[in-house]
Structure 1
Amino acid sequence: MHEAQPGTTLRIEDAFAVSEALLDAASAAPDSSRPSAAMRVYQTLRQQIVDMVMLPGARINEKEIAVLHGTSRTPVHEAVRRLVEEGLVEVTQRVGTYVSRIPLDRLGEAMLVRTALEVAIVQRAALRIKPEDIARLRHALTGQLACVAAADIVRFHRMDEEFHEALAEIAGFPGVWRMIQQAKTQIDRYRRLTLPMPGRMDVVVAEHDHVVAMLEAGEAEQAACAMREHLDQVLPVLEIARMHRPEYFIAHLPDQRQPGPYW
């Protein structure tokens, strides 16, 4: 089992500062719609990990998190337990609690699921698409291009998600997109390493544009092929990221889903 390496510790207050606006918005919501303390901590930690704000190997201090959230350690412990089950956090008796490294073995599995579902989504979307849907997708592409020009990687990733979600909604399968999101959690972490690569965001936009062009032309099979080709580029680019930051990756995660010392 790998130990956290020196220099990977992220000050927890810095990580949570990034989500301050989000938390403020949530706290302004009516009490009936406000998530539980455990859910708030879970959502914030999960987003920080997926966004690579909290890097692989960063230690997690439950006491500090509890203080920052103004809650007891019980909700924090519950949130961390859920993250352990998702493979985003690892707990060892010697090292403690820290953000897990990105497991290479799960990336291939996740891409298999994602590709199968997204290709099917595009095929279905081609049969249902309307002019206003094309306009919606084009608007998303315009937003992505603006992110490229501004070198805004965080927003680009959000816009990328919106593009793929829009396709699922156009296809009439919004629930499938939620399944895809769950399956691709580890992929999203690694993608935050690849998007800063020179020209990478431009390539993604061009591939999205090709999918939209085929949908607009009514070419269902060509649109599906364009989506498959787009997703087929994910794992090859991963290898480049792995070579640059090998300390962020691991062959596979130990199975911590069974009851153990942490529970």
Structure 2
Amino acid sequence: MTFETQLNPTQPVNQQIYRILRRDIVHCLIAPGTPLSEKEISVRFDVSRQPVREAFIKLAENGLIQIRPQRGSYVNKISLAQVRNGCFVRQAIECAVVRRAAGMINDEQLWQLEQNLHQQRIAIDRKQLNDFFQLDDEFHQKLALIADCQLAWDTVENIKAAIDRVRYMSLDHVSPPEMLLRQHLDIFAALERHDAEAVENAMALHLQEISGSVQLIRQENRDWFSED
């Protein structure tokens, strides 16, 4: 297993370490229950402990790790309660976002979404799951920007860490990218028609997919989940 170690000197170190560790946890490169050491992470990135500590605090705020004073830090198991609550909040926000976007979207924004969908197709054809995962997020973020509400996406991003772990584990068999792309295309088609009701329904159906997949993923990885 190879871990990324290179940082961009032009960007805040703590934010980069947070993003990399978040991705590693979401992609299960760092498994639930794994202890995390400030010292080891600082050595990995060749930085002082302070930006690592700041990254750990942000990961803890997102529910990905638990910091135990004098006892160390550990990657949390995937909380079923957090997944359920996150799905509920995300659906409420994003259904409102696309309903609003349906009345605001213009030709340039439709073209941008279409380009993203084209890139999703390429990632699927090349079996590049990591690229598809990122493009999926970018698609949803673009919808919030079209609705002129970046705060909606910021809120979703802050509460969806537990959801993302299930999403990633489900990509190769439970919720295949091909199916998710079809759902994205349904959302796009409704936006193209400026049909607020249809796009809201399409988004609700799309986001309900994670609720159905979580139990299947849990059966395959029981030791990685908690009821809390």
Under a length normalisation based on structure 2, what TM-score does the superposition of the two structures give? 0.91
Instruction: Indicate the residue corresponding to 2:198 in structure 1.
Output: 222
Asked whether the equivalents of residues 65 and 73 of structure 2 are also in contact (C-alpha less than 8 Å), the reply is yes
Check 1:39–1:219 CA distance in 2 against 1; reply closer, same or farther (3 A cut). closer
1:147 is matched by which residue type in structure 2?
A: A
How far the C-alpha of 1:79 sits from its partner, in A, is: 2.7
Instruction: Indicate the residue corresponding to 1:164 in structure 2.
Output: 140
1:164 is matched by which residue type in structure 2?
A: H
How far the C-alpha of 1:141 sits from its partner, in A, is: 1.0
Check 1:147–1:198 CA distance in 2 against 1; reply closer, same or farther (3 A cut). farther
Alpha-carbon separation, structure 1, partners of 2:61 and 2:100: 33
How far the C-alpha of 1:85 sits from its partner, in A, is: 3.2
Secondary structure of the residue that 1:57 maps to in structure 2?
Answer: coil
Instruction: Indicate the residue corresponding to 2:94 in structure 1.
Output: 118
Asked if 1:76 corresponds to 2:52, the answer is yes
String of CA shifts for 1:148-198, please: whole Å, max 9, x gaps: 111111100100011111111111112211111111111111111001116
* 1:108-147 to 2 correspondences below 5 Å: 108-147=84-123
1:206 is matched by which residue type in structure 2?
A: R
Secondary structure of the residue that 1:181 maps to in structure 2?
Answer: helix
Asked whether the equivalents of residues 169 and 217 of structure 2 are also in contact (C-alpha less than 8 Å), the reply is yes
Secondary structure of the residue that 1:67 maps to in structure 2?
Answer: helix
Alpha-carbon separation, structure 2, partners of 1:113 and 1:198: 22
Instruction: Indicate the residue corresponding to 1:178 in structure 2.
Output: 154
Match of 2:39 among 63, 86, 89: 63
String of CA shifts for 1:209-229, please: whole Å, max 9, x gaps: 011111112211011111111
Match of 2:65 among 89, 106, 113: 89
Instruction: Indicate the residue corresponding to 1:192 in structure 2.
Output: 168
1:183 is matched by which residue type in structure 2?
A: I
Asked if 1:153 corresponds to 2:111, the answer is no
Secondary structure of the residue that 2:66 maps to in structure 1?
Answer: strand
Asked whether the equivalents of residues 62 and 158 of structure 2 are also in contact (C-alpha less than 8 Å), the reply is no
Check 1:95–1:42 CA distance in 2 against 1; reply closer, same or farther (3 A cut). same
String of CA shifts for 1:58-81, please: whole Å, max 9, x gaps: 221222212222233343234323
Check 1:64–1:228 CA distance in 2 against 1; reply closer, same or farther (3 A cut). same
What residue ranges of structure 2 are gaps of 5+ in the alignment? none
Alpha-carbon separation, structure 1, partners of 2:92 and 2:175: 27
What residue ranges of structure 1 are gaps of 5+ in the alignment? 1-10, 253-263
Alpha-carbon separation, structure 1, partners of 2:59 and 2:165: 14
Alpha-carbon separation, structure 2, partners of 1:157 and 1:90: 25
CA RMSD of aligned residues (A): 2.1
Alpha-carbon separation, structure 2, partners of 1:251 and 1:51: 21
Query: Number of residue pairs matched?
Result: 228
How far the C-alpha of 1:199 sits from its partner, in A, is: 6.4
Structure whose alpha-carbon radius of gyration is higher? 1
Alpha-carbon separation, structure 2, partners of 1:133 and 1:42: 30
